[in-house]
Amino acid sequence: MRCLITGVAGFVGSHLSERLLADGHEVVGLDAFTDYYAREQKERNLEGSRAWNDFSFIEGDILQLNLPALLDGVDWIFHQAAQAGVRASWGCNFSRYVDCNVLATQRLLEAALEQGSIQRFVYASSSSVYGDTDALPVSESSLLRPNSPYGVTKLAAENLCTLYHLNFGLPTVSLRYFTVYGPRQRPDMAFHRFCRAIIERKPIVIYGDGQQTRDFTYVADVVEANIRAATSRTAVGEVMNIAGGSRVNLHQVMQYLRDISDAPISVTFDERQHGDVGHTFADTTRAQQHLAYRPRVSLREGLAREYEYVLSESTKRAATHSAS
């Protein structure tokens, strides 16, 4: 299959690209290199994909590109691109979230409809659409009440995907990711910050009291869900939770990191941030039914992999600085 991945230089997009290439597919990668975090890291994310002859890359903004031409010959679309970050989505930044998350998705849906032969449009949604609830685990039929402007835009884009399926038959699938982690995780995300703080012998900062819980999902499991969403006939038109299968608080995460790093850990607590939720935990029954989805990587194993990755990157940076 010929696949388009938007946000290919990002965390999930780069892993998904490498998996599709390894499976024998052709990948067209698109990324705008927005300045939410360093371009240097995104370029490193692309190194694995660029080693393949079946990979081609386009740098550009979905709102500016000639999308019908870009989609010529494409069979599967994996729409991973978004303006990320719950805490940064307030105030004057909101217009950027609307452009990147809502308008860009609508434009891509229109182009897919015009192209006429897209076999699957897989959209990366988010658990943020549920907001802050104690009615756990959440299923796809749970009340949707986003707790941040970011969540509002992700839900709006997800609704657009559903509408294009219901009204025009576009074969969309929306996957609600629950706190994805692993190698290449964005530097602003909690696990990356925790690992780097340990390596640099700095205090780990936790927003809130550490009792908040998350359903953490390893990136390879998210990639597997995307592949299955593209190939399952019954997945078309569905919205599904994709999660790690266990609910863990941050104090337990700290204990895992102590064991993995074998290093002393200092933890400080700061005020809970606007838009953060207390708890997440997913019912993945629907994904099990339509995708035969079951997470394979435990939290402790996945954390160890991420720690080793952050340690390796830190070692490389130190070597570069000393050489210069």
Nearest CA to 302 out of 185, 199, 182 is that of 182
Does the active-site annotation cover 150?
yes
Reading the block at residue 316, the tokens are 């490389």
Q: Is omega for the bond preceding 187 within 30 degrees of 0, making it cis?
A: no
68: Cα separation from own chain's centroid? 25
Candidates 130, 150, 164, 307; catalytic one: 150
What span, in angstroms and rounded, lies between the C-alpha atoms of 210 and 204? 11
165 CB neighbour count, 10 Å cutoff: 19
Q: Do residues 6 and 81 make contact, with C-beta atoms less than 8 angstroms apart?
A: yes
Catalytic positions, written as ranges: 150
